[in-house]
Amino acid sequence: MDTKRILATLEERRRWEARRDELKKELEGLPHDERVLRKSELGKIQQQISYYDSLLRQMKAELRPADRSAILSKG
């Protein structure tokens, strides 16, 4: 398993979490109608986070013990 792929996946998941947090803050200041429209975007972001969680679980299952050590030292 290529540790670069795992680290890239972790970084992409972090980006989606950051976007989710930004959008939640933006939603607080919006009128109700606009907030309802933007909540669908929040749902899509959560789907992406779930996808990356699933991908990371799969990658973790494929890791050898030596690979785990390498990732933990970089992460």
pLDDT tens, 6-60?
A: 899 999 999 999 999 999 999 998 999 999 888 899 999 999 999 999 999 998 8
Asked whether the predicted pLDDT for residue 66 surpasses 70, the reply is: no
Domain interval for residue 67: 3-74
- What's the domain count of the chain? 1
pTM over 0.85: no
Q: Helices 32-62 and 3-28: crossing angle, nearest 10°? A: 160
* 38 contacts 27 by C-beta, under 8 angstroms: yes
Q: pLDDT band for position 68 (50/70/90)? A: low
Distances (CA, A) of 40 to 2, 37, 71: 34, 6, 34
CB atoms inside a 10 Å sphere around CB 23: 14
Q: pLDDT band for position 63 (50/70/90)? A: confident
Q: pLDDT band for position 75 (50/70/90)? A: low
